[in-house]
Amino acid sequence: MKDLTRRIRRGPPAATVRPVSSEPRELTVDDVDWVVELAARRRERIVEFAPRFWNPAPGARDTHAGFLAGLVQSPTTLALRTDHGFVIAVPGHDRLVIDDMALEDDSLWPTEGDALLRRAATGTPLRVVCPLPEPARRTAVTRLGLSVAGTWWHRDLDPDPTWDGHNDDAPLAVDGADAILVPAPPVYAPGGPVVLVRAVASVSALRAVEQAASRRGSTVSVVSQQPDNRSAADMLESAGYKRTTEFFEGTATS
């Protein structure tokens, strides 16, 4: 009788339940305000690594909220969340592209981060944007089996003070380089357009691109490097560029 009374007071044995917070579920438009706040805190954490390139724009939260609400409601977007993180994947050619993804704390990458990435990767190749100041994100993507498919390097420029603010987004005509001026993403305000250098043959060609871009108000130069081009990486480092972002691609292998 005493044993029975003790069991009644204690109640039935607790069931082993997997934490709900680690289970990805649909992210809806009702979650957008929370997503915007989490994304803003993420931008604040990484801005010191590239203060001009990633300088938050005035009104960035409102801009991002409108953009994300449209994405979340699109039938082609995969939008998932857990209790402490989210991922938004959009179609790009034959894969899903992940840029907007954040967790409340880096310690959650091996649990909720992995769960979100694996759900997104189910039967679909991924392309994941990994800024260098987010090593936990990079580790999670590597753990998934993806590999580096490209790298961005950046260097700040001094724009021509006579620039009138006009930017026609036309390619820059420089021998030995393929470069174009592009506007910064709306959530960032580097102070002018960004010159994206897709290929460059030498430091002299790179300097010519920088000069041409500066005359048209560019404040940041971004150079794309292929992973197998070690000589390009050495050239960019010697030219004062900083490795900024890696792009991982592939299909989940584990």
pLDDT, tens only, 236-246? 999 999 999 99
Residues 67-85: pLDDT tens digits? 999 999 999 999 999 999 9
Query: 186 vs 161, which has greater pLDDT?
Result: 186
Nearest 10 degrees: Cα torsion 193, 198, 199, 205: 0
Collapsing DSSP states into helix, strand and coil, what is residue 228? coil
The pTM assigned to this predicted structure is 0.88
Query: The domain at 21-127 falls in which architecture?
Result: 3-Layer(aba) Sandwich (3.40)
- Within 10 angstroms of residue 75's Cβ, the number of other Cβ atoms is 4
The answer to which of 15-19, 31-35, 115-119 has the lowest mean pLDDT is: 15-19
Cα separations in angstroms, 208 against 66, 133, 174, 179, 225: 38, 29, 7, 11, 18
Domain locations along the chain: 21-127, 151-248
Tokens of 59: 């009104």
Residues whose CB is less than 8 angstroms from the CB of residue 89 and which lie 6 or more positions away in sequence, other chains included = 77, 78, 79, 96, 97, 98, 120, 126
Q: What percent of the chain has pLDDT over 90?
A: 82
Angle at alpha carbon of residue 176, lines to 174 and 181, rounded to 5°: 45
Over the chain, what is the mean pLDDT? 90
Tokens of 103: 């967790």
